[in-house]
């Protein structure tokens, strides 16, 4: 079969009938020469609206029903795009996650793709039809509907590109590429031509919502390059690739922030083997990600452990930690929200001394207090007051010479 082309169109790109028509004209021109798979998101802010609707009828909507609800956003877009293509004379068919064979784990609202059964898509492509797949959704072994987490249509697209042997996955969005910071926060961000999977994964994981982190991970694993580009403007965007050209390497590449952050402190934890596991295992089992973790040096046989979780998972996390706490016999569990993570990312950090100091000094000059710090080889993250996070992003962007001249 000829090279399959995979395009993904985000919510803004399919927000109205006029935009759907525009997207379809682009797809039609590619479909003349290639088998095409198109992955679509929900129109505009549909997913937000569905979640709001759920909260109006239930204070804590059960995860299963929430997935069954939110998956509908994408289920609506796919047939609209397929019928628009057909109206343009392009043979096309819409497929839900189930029809497209997207098998996932059972973690509602953050399911992971376990595999894709491609027979149906391959048969449709062989029959000369464009496959328009509803992104973000999948199904479990027991035929439950799942979703992949906010922004998850990117992951559907890259996973399909991987299993169909596409070399590149084109992510069409409302920005013309990856920038050194969110263009909604920084006035003169710099557009990045090439970025490594590694750097993009770190940026996405700490708040650069332009790409879903799992999509980057799958791209790296299966060697699919990801081209992030505008569905509104012509021209190339950013390539997410394994190797970036030499001159793009040696610097801090980007600044990102994540606002949905809360912290939990467990005081007076007995300083002995096994307690950290006892605390964190229940959180892992409930699929709650724990992030920046700080354990103080033990004094008189006891220690304090502080860590962060997403603020919208704080009540569940606190309940689990309190239960574990009763078993390990710690003193008390404290928690607070209203925090944000501020991060700088770049492979150029490796072997460049003074980067951390420059970050801390910049935040001090802005009178932004650092509550916790975590690092990887190519990232430094500071936990700060949420109200100051965007000021911090702007100050760091300037301090690391990222402002576009």
Binding site for ligand ASP (CB under 6 A): 10-11, 41-42, 47, 73, 135-136, 150-154
Q: Find the part of the chain contacting ligand ADP (CB under 6 A) among 173-181, 316-324, 352-360, 388-396.
A: 173-181
Cα separation, 69 vs 63, in Å, equals 10
Q: Which is nearer to Mg ion, 232 or 360 (CB)?
A: 232
The answer to the question of residue 181 lying near ligand ADP (CB under 6 A) is yes
The answer to the question of residue 11 lying near ligand ADP (CB under 6 A) is yes
CB of 61 to Mg ion, least distance (A): 22
Q: Which is nearer to ligand ADP, 97 or 254 (CB)?
A: 254
The answer to the question of residue 12 lying near ligand ADP (CB under 6 A) is yes
Q: Which is nearer to ligand ASP, 77 or 335 (CB)?
A: 77
Cβ(318)–Cβ(333) below 8 Å:
yes
In the stretch 127-156, what mask flags binding to ligand ADP with x, by CB under 6 A? ------------------------x-----
Q: Which is nearer to ligand ASP, 78 or 125 (CB)?
A: 78
Size of the site for ligand ADP (CB under 6 A): 19
Identify what 150 binds: ligand ASP, ligand ADP, Mg ion, none; CB under 5 to 8 Å per kind.
ligand ASP
Identify what 179 binds: Mg ion, ligand ADP, ligand ASP, none; CB under 5 to 8 Å per kind.
ligand ADP
Q: Which is nearer to ligand ADP, 145 or 208 (CB)?
A: 208
Question: Between residue 141 and residue 170, which ones bind Mg ion under the rule CB under 5 A?
Answer: 151
Cα separation, 23 vs 30, in Å, equals 11
* Angle, alpha carbons 405-178-213 (nearest 5°): 145
Could you tell me how many residues make up the chain? Answer: 405
Q: Which is nearer to ligand ADP, 125 or 208 (CB)?
A: 208
SS3 of the chain:
CCCCEEEEECHHHHCCHHHHHHHHHHHHHHHCCCCEEEEECCCCCHHHHHHHHHHHHCCCCCHHHHHHHHHHHHHHHHHHHHHHHHHCCCCEEEECCCCCCEEECCCCCCCCEEEECCHHHHHHHHCCCEEEEECCEEECCCCCEEECCCCCHHHHHHHHHHHCCCCEEEEEECCCCCECCCCCCCCCCCECCEEEHHHHHHHHHCCCCCCCHHHHHHHHHHCCEEEEEECCCCCCCEEEECCCCHHHCCCCCEEEEEEEEEEEEEEEEECCCCHHHHHHHHHHHCCCCCCCEEECCCECCEEEEEEEEEHHHHHHHHHHHHHHHHHHCCCEEEEEEEEEEEEEECHHHCCCCCHHHHHHHHHHHCCCCCCEEEEECCEEEEEEEHHHHHHHHHHHHHHCCCCCC
Residue nearest to ligand ADP (CB): 10
Identify what 219 binds: Mg ion, ligand ADP, ligand ASP, none; CB under 5 to 8 Å per kind.
none
CB of 98 to ligand ASP, least distance (A): 17
Q: Which is nearer to ligand ASP, 122 or 209 (CB)?
A: 209
Identify what 152 binds: ligand ASP, Mg ion, ligand ADP, none; CB under 5 to 8 Å per kind.
ligand ASP
Q: Find the part of the chain contacting ligand ADP (CB under 6 A) among 171-179, 330-338, 343-351, 391-399.
A: 171-179
Q: Which is nearer to Mg ion, 239 or 359 (CB)?
A: 239
The answer to the question of residue 174 lying near ligand ADP (CB under 6 A) is yes
- Binding residues (CB under 6 A) for ligand ADP: these are 10-13, 41, 151, 173-175, 178-179, 181-184, 208-210, 254
């Amino acid at each position: 079969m000829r090279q399959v082309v995979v395009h993904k169109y985000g919510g803004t790109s399919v927000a109205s009938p006029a935009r759907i028509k525009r997207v379809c004209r682009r797809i039609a021109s590619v479909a003349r020469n290639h088998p095409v798979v198109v992955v679509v998101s929900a129109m505009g802010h549909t997913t937000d609206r569905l979640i709001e609707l759920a909260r109006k009828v239930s204070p804590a909507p059960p995860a299963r029903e929430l997935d069954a609800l939110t998956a509908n956003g994408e289920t609506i877009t796919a047939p609209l795009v397929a019928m628009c293509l057909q109206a343009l004379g392009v043979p096309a068919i819409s497929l839900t996650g189930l029809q497209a064979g997207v098998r996932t784990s059972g973690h509602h609202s953050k399911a992971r793709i376990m595999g894709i059964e491609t027979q149906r898509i391959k048969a449709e492509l062989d029959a000369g039809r464009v496959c328009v797949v509803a992104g973000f959704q999948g199904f479990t072994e027991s035929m439950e509907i799942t979703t992949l987490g906010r922004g998850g249509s990117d992951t559907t697209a890259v996973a399909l590109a991987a299993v169909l042997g596409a070399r590149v996955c084109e992510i069409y969005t409302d920005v013309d590429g990856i920038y050194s910071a969110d263009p909604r926060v920084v006035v003169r961000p710099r557009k990045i031509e090439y970025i490594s999977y590694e750097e993009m994964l770190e940026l996405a994981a700490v708040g650069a919502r332009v790409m879903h982190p799992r999509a980057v991970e799958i791209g790296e694993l299966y060697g699919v390059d990801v081209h992030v580009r505008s569905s509104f403007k012509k021209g190339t965007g950013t390539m997410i690739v394994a190797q970036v050209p030499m001159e793009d390497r040696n610097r801090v590449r980007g600044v990102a922030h994540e606002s949905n952050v809360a912290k939990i402190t467990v005081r007076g934890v007995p300083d002995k083997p096994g307690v950290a596991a006892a605390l964190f295992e229940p959180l892992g089992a409930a699929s709650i990600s724990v992030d920046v973790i700080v354990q103080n040096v033990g004094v008189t046989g006891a220690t304090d452990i502080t860590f962060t979780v997403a603020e919208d998972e704080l009540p569940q996390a606190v309940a689990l930690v309190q239960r574990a706490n009763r078993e390990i016999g710690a003193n008390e569990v404290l928690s607070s929200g209203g925090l944000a993570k501020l991060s700088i990312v770049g492979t150029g950090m490796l072997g460049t001394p003074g980067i951390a100091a420059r970050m801390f000094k910049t935040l001090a000059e802005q009178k932004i207090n650092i509550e916790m710090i975590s690092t990887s080889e190519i990232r430094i993250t500071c936990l700060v007051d949420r109200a100051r996070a965007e000021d911090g992003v702007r100050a760091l962007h300037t301090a690391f010479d990222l402002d576009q001249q």
